[in-house]
Copies of this chain bind each other. A is one copy, B any other.
Amino acid sequence: MADRKIGSQTIKFNKPPSIIGTGTVVGPKEGIGPLKDYFDLIINDDLYSEKSWEKAERKMLKEASEMAIKNSKIPFANIEYFISGDLLNQIISSAFTARELGSPFLGIYGACSTIAEGMGLGAILIDGGYADNLLVATSSHFCTAERQFRFPLELGNQRPPTAQWTVTGAGAAVVSSDIKNPRITYFTFGKIIDMGEVDSNSMGTAMAPAAVDTMIRHFQDTGRTPDYYDLIVTGDLSSIGKDVAEDLMKQKGYDISNNYTDCGIMIYNNKQDVHSGGSGCACAATVTCGYLFKQMLEKKYNRVLLVATGALLSTTSSQQGETIPCIAYALSLENL
């Protein structure tokens, strides 16, 4: 019966949905990073002329969404669903953006893996004949995340070397039944993997085993090997987590050292004082919807495996002594 599922947790799309347009907005810090030329809009003020960082975050999400629709060249009225989630409690960035957009809304939560969870679900809706065009988006903001998950910024707490910098930005993509490159060919679901990490300033090491689990599952389910892809890119493991993932993959018999990188490493340069690298929903989202999408349009990459990672902790779970449950969703993006 489940003829579109292969192996244990991978969907193979019969009619691979297309990404027909993207939109990205990033903050000032991301706007001077190595990928600055690939973002549609760089804001020059973390508050983006709003009264709170939370309002600024959802303004970015709304604008990235509108840009994605504009760039896709389809009328706004053709957007059938808005799939979105974000780090803020009760995904308020997404819900308030959904209110502004007015499209039917599907709220999801995968922490920093949201862009892949959303694009995977979106591709299912398109491939299955439930929609022709829909919008997937997510956002994060250094200031909203830091004060919600860690400390008030005003305290000026020192950050350990393993800490990552939450990307300020938003990324959005229109997924469509129109046939254009790049296409979403496979979607591998993730399981919760929790290896006992408790330090919310060491997310890369917490999430690396989840990325590895999903990558291996993807290769086993599809029969592909790492060298099939021009690029394998995890969401936000950053420098420490990337090394862990590469080592764990090697232990399992997969050498990804030649074609593997991480969005959290790509988005900032070494001099930007971000410690281990970037993180947050907008990390994988802006790199995917900005850099990767545009490189695929230009055929600089033709086969990309995006493995977006998420740490599903809350301050409450941490305060109650819990470890960090992590997940990763993998999307195969290909020019066909």
Interface positions of A (Cβ within 8 A of B)? 1-5, 8-9, 11, 51-52, 54-55, 80-81, 85, 87-92, 95-96, 98-99, 102-111, 117, 121, 124-132, 148, 177, 189-192, 194, 312-317, 320, 322, 325, 327
Contacts and interface: CB of A to CB of B under 8 A. Distances in A.
B317 A105 contact: no
Contacts of A126: 2
B314 A88 contact: yes
Given A96-B317, A98-B192, A99-B194, A105 B2 contact: no
B2 A91 contact: no
A134 to B, nearest CB: 10
B54 A90 contact: no
B89 A4 contact: no
A313 B189 contact: no
Q: List the 7 shortest-distance A-B pairs measured between CB atoms, nearest first.
A: A128-B128, A95-B312, A104-B189, A90-B314, A99-B192, A107-B109, A89-B89
Contacts of A54: 316-317, 320
Contacts of A102: 191-192
A110 to B, nearest CB: 5
A105 B191 contact: yes
A124 B110 CA distance: 19
B314 A129 contact: no
A55, A121, A128, A129 pick with most chain B CB within 10 angstroms: A128
Contact of A92 (B4, B87, B124, B312): B312
Contacts of A316: 54, 88-89, 92, 148
Nearest to A323: B99
From A2, A190, A327, residue with most partner B Cβ within 10 Å: A2
Contacts of A106: 108, 117, 121, 189
A89 B3 CA distance: 36
A132 B313 CA distance: 30
A178 to B, nearest CB: 9
A83 to B, nearest CB: 10
A330 B71 CA distance: 32
A129 B315 contact: no
A316 B105 CA distance: 21
Contact of A103 (B55, B87, B129, B191): B191
A102 B317 CA distance: 19
A312 B190 contact: no
Contact of A80 (B2, B96, B129, B317): B2
B96 A322 contact: yes
A329 to B, nearest CB: 9
Contacts of A105: 189-192, 327
A5 B130 CA distance: 5
A92 to B, nearest CB: 5
Nearest to A55: B320
